[in-house]
Amino acid sequence: MQTTSFQRYRAKKKAMRAHTWAEMKKHKTLYLFMLPFVLVFATFTLAPVIMSLGLSFTYFNVLEAPRFIGFQNYLNLFLSDDIFLIALRNTLILAVITGPVGYICAFLFAWFINELPRFIRAFVTLVFYAPTIAGAAFLVWAIIFMGDANGYLNAILINFGIINEPNLWLTDKDYMMPVIIVVVLWMSLGAGFLAFIAGLSTIDETLYEAGLVDGVKNRWQELWFITLPNMQGMLMFGAVMAIMASFAVGEVTQNLAGFPSTDYEVHTIVNHLVDYGAIRFEMGYASAIATILFLTMIYTKVLVGKFINSIGR
């Protein structure tokens, strides 16, 4: 009895394999089409991630060949690297605040913009999206938050008599984190914002008419019961983009608060990674940092995906 079922299983498996092979042969032109992209993608996107995973179990200083040391890098990170724990905490604070807030703001702004008269939409979209793509423009915040009376914010506050002497916005521990959060939020709307704008404008008008007949009273109900459930794809895309941006804060802290920042107050995982990778050349250790960052992002994506799938139900 057992053998026959096993034989049947084997035969089935074999047939399936033959079928797959036939399918592959049938579509060989398509594999040819895919080949160039797969090659480049595998070499410069996939291979680095796999290498990073592998190197994270080694000691590697670029000059000598990597030496396998098991989980030592990870143990060191969590047990003896105080600065990593600070960086982890800061990154999580930044991600937990700028991720959801930025994401919800991006959606609310997109939704509000969609309620505006048509002629002004394109302009308002540009105003909100420009900081995301303006690259080096965030350096202007360094002038706004400059620590002396030349700084724009200090000058205004002194003028109005709110403070008597300039605040060291970018080097005083009390102010650094909030300042960085403001700047990150400012440049964080991202591609998700555009997806929301586009998605909102393509929802079938008849759905709203039907909703009206069914007794939808105001725009909030319309949003929750009709708009959101019809945009789950866009919401997921926006979430992926938001997760990427909110965990990758590093350039902003490095350029505004310095490297390292006062008492590592806004030191992020990316800063820590750059420190070990590009300055100390401890590639194995840096790879372990990168792997932790990567796993955190994947896990967050799974959680967010579950939440988005439950909207409107």
Q: Which of residues 209-248 bind another protein (CB under 8 A)?
A: 212, 216-219, 222, 231-234, 236-237, 240-241, 243-244, 247-248
Per residue, the 3-state secondary structure of 177-239, as one string, reads HHHHHHHHHHCCCHHHHHHHHHHHHHCCHHHHHHHHHCCCCCHHHHHHHHHHHHHHHHHHHHH
Per residue, the 3-state secondary structure of 130-149, as one string, reads HHHHCHHHHHHHHHHCCCCC
Q: Which is nearer to another protein, 180 or 256 (CB)?
A: 256
The answer to the question of residue 208 lying near another protein (CB under 8 A) is yes
CA 229 to chain centre: 23
DSSP β-bridge partners for residue 67: 59
In whole angstroms, give the CA distance from residue 89 to residue 78. Answer: 12
Q: Which is nearer to another protein, 72 or 111 (CB)?
A: 111
Binders of another protein among residues 281 to 310 (CB under 8 A) are 283, 286-287, 290, 293-294, 297-298, 301, 305, 308-309
Which residue's structure tokens are 């105003």? 127
Binders of another protein among residues 25 to 54 (CB under 8 A) are 26-27, 29-31, 33-34, 36-38, 40-41, 43-49, 51-52
Among 11, 83, 130, 303, binds another protein (CB under 8 A): 130
Q: Which is nearer to another protein, 1 or 162 (CB)?
A: 162
CA 195 to chain centre: 15
Binders of another protein among residues 262 to 281 (CB under 8 A) are 270, 273-274, 277-278
- Strand, coil or helix: what is 229? helix
Among 107, 109, 169, 264, binds another protein (CB under 8 A): 109
Do the Cβ atoms of 121 and 198 come closer than 8 Å?
no
Q: Which is nearer to another protein, 1 or 298 (CB)?
A: 298
Tell me which stretch binds another protein (CB under 8 A): 6-14, 76-84, 90-98, 109-117.
Answer: 109-117
The answer to the question of residue 94 lying near another protein (CB under 8 A) is no
